[in-house]
Amino acid sequence: MSGKSIRWISAFVYGTVMVIGWWYPVVALAVFLLMGLALLAGKRRKWCGSYCPRGSFLDLVMKRISPKKPIPRWMTGKRIWYISIAVFLCMFGFQVVASGLLESFSWKLMGKVAYRMCFVTSMVALPLALWRNHRAWCSICPVGNLLRR
């Protein structure tokens, strides 16, 4: 399968998760499944460029309306990465506790947590794409930075 086909499929997964994930939160787990499969296949470096559903959406859709300005230096430094990973982990921890996942595990609850994480980070990624560059989110993305380090 070509890289472009994979990106379209991945972008479709992102769109599907964002649209129907509210009603069927288990669908959001597909993003984590894709990430796990890419890592197991030894495709760490390809995750951001081809497999990441949000990255594919940003490349294929938001690139057309993004001003394509350079990403500011402060967004590419280690300090912002540490801040973003701390915020992401705190958000994830809060979601796990607030959803009741610690008391009793269920795939539906785990899907809700995954959906909320995707939704909130998208609410950061999309304005960044419109403000600066379609891939501005990627410079602070906790997942991508963890995979690259």
pLDDT tens-digit series, residues 68-98: 999 999 999 889 989 999 999 999 999 999 9
Q: What is the pLDDT of residue 149?
A: 65
Parts of the chain with a pLDDT under 70: 1, 42-44, 149
Q: Which residue has the tokens 């609410």?
A: 123
| pTM of this structure | 0.86
